């Protein structure tokens, strides 16, 4: 049903090089955020790429023309070789951004990362209030640890971005999160309304705010752009289910960035493995360059040739590229369909129905299904 498009040499030659790689170094993480974008069904005991594998990946990334290496997870601090990985990225000329919860970081660890050549830290904050933040992350004392991490980031002269995922439990403080990021000395803040796939889809009933809450929060955050102009950059990711048009997922499928999983699979986006019929190549079998230009998965929904109506004739087709393929699959059953977030989609009513069901009268809010993996029993 979702068979990839054939790859021709001429088509490969027209594909621009990527600008960034998201390296998911591990799925291990001390937090249990209910909106995590990691898969819901992985075996976290499975073998991860080793140090030399990752160094080769980053060398190939630099040769491919990639500029930015985003070191993520899970929690990348769980890797004992993180300092060595950062040093190698610096050696091959990659700008490194550590995407972290901060839990597990010490002052000494921060100093070693800085001396290895780390360029930037993106710190996740679950809320501006400690008790709520710790409940959302499923980790008591996490908020306090993050405040220590902020001090060390500044001590060693690294730029800081604060990332806050917005949902029902913290949406009333979306604007406060911006002000808090300013107080913490961040240069950038990402106010990202929850994207409903992976763990967030599992927890949608517990996470999704009402339309009234979203409209209030969006207006508040947008209004703060002028208030804090020149002090902080505000990146504001508007919630999908209440939008008129979809976002260009990852800037367009196979257009700007790629994800490398802890096991070495290379994906066009976080949730791409949910789409049936796609063949994902691994860095253990192919070069990063071959994967980017020639792999079936990256060429399946690259560009616009794959599109059906209404996307094919839409003047926005090279603006949003049909929206999110994984969301189209999750909500319509076919990844080739227009993202139903778009008001022009023939199945947009499904999104409207879901959004309308969260009006504040839906009764008791269910508890979170926290991001915790069942460890399979050992093989006898």
- Taking every pair of C-alpha atoms in the chain, what is the biggest distance, in angstroms? 63
pLDDT digits (tens, 9 = 90+) for 203-258: 999 999 999 999 999 999 999 999 999 999 999 988 888 889 998 888 899 999 99
pLDDT digits (tens, 9 = 90+) for 151-164: 999 999 999 999 99
Average pLDDT, the chain: 91
DSSP codes, 206-232: HH---HHHHHHHHHHHHHHHHHTTTT-
pTM above 0.75, yes or no: yes
pLDDT of 183 over the 70 cut: yes
What pLDDT score does 380 carry? Answer: 29
Q: How far is CA 203 from the centre of its chain?
A: 17
pLDDT of 4 over the 70 cut: no
pLDDT digits (tens, 9 = 90+) for 6-59: 555 545 667 999 999 999 999 999 999 999 999 888 877 778 999 999 999 999
With residue 70 as reference, give the H or E element that holds it: strand 68-72
Around Cβ 294, how many Cβ atoms within 10 Å? 18
% of the chain exceeding 70 in pLDDT: 94
What pLDDT score does 238 carry? Answer: 82
Contact 312, 304 (CB under 8 A): yes
What pLDDT score does 379 carry? Answer: 34
The CA-atom distances, in angstroms, between 99 and each of 25, 36, 161, 234, 295 are 11, 13, 9, 17, 27
């Amino acid at each position: 049903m979702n068979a990839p498009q054939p790859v021709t040499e001429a088509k490969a030659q027209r594909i621009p090089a990527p600008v960034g790689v998201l390296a998911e170094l591990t799925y291990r993480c001390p937090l249990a955020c209910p909106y995590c974008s990691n898969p819901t069904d992985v075996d976290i005991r499975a073998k991860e790429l080793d140090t030399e594998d990752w160094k080769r990946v980053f060398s190939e990334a630099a040769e491919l023309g990639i500029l930015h290496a985003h070191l993520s997870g899970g929690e990348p601090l769980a890797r004992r070789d993180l300092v060595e990985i950062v040093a190698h990225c610096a050696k091959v000329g990659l700008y490194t951004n550590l995407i972290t919860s901060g839990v597990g970081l010490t002052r000494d660890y921060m100093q070693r990362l800085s001396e290895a050549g780390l360029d930037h830290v993106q710190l996740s904050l679950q809320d501006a209030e400690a008790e709520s933040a710790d409940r959302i992350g499923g980790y008591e004392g996490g908020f306090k640890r993050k405040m220590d991490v902020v001090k060390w980031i500044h001590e060693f002269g690294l730029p800081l971005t604060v990332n806050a995922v917005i949902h029902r439990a913290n949406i009333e403080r979306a604007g406060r999160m911006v002000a808090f990021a300013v107080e913490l000395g961040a240069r950038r803040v990402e106010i990202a309304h929850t994207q409903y796939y992976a763990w967030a889809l599992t927890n949608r009933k517990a996470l999704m705010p009402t339309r009234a809450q979203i409209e209030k929060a969006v207006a508040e955050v947008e209004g703060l752009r002028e208030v804090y102009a020149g002090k902080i950059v505000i990146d504001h990711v508007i919630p999908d289910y209440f939008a008129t048009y979809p976002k260009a997922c990852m800037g367009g499928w196979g257009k700007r960035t790629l994800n490398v999983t802890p096991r070495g699979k290379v994906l066009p986006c976080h949730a791409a493995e949910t789409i049936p019929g796609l063949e994902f190549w691994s860095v253990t079998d192919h070069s990063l360059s071959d994967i980017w230009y020639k792999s079936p998965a990256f060429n399946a929904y690259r560009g616009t040739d794959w599109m059906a109506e209404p996307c094919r004739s839409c003047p926005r087709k090279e603006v949003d590229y049909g929206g999110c393929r994984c969301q189209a699959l999750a909500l319509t059953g076919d990844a080739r369909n227009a993202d139903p977030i778009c008001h022009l989609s023939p199945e947009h009513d499904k999104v409207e129905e879901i959004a309308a069901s969260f009006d504040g009268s839906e009764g008791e809010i269910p508890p979170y299904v926290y991001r915790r993996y069942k460890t399979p029993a050992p093989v006898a």
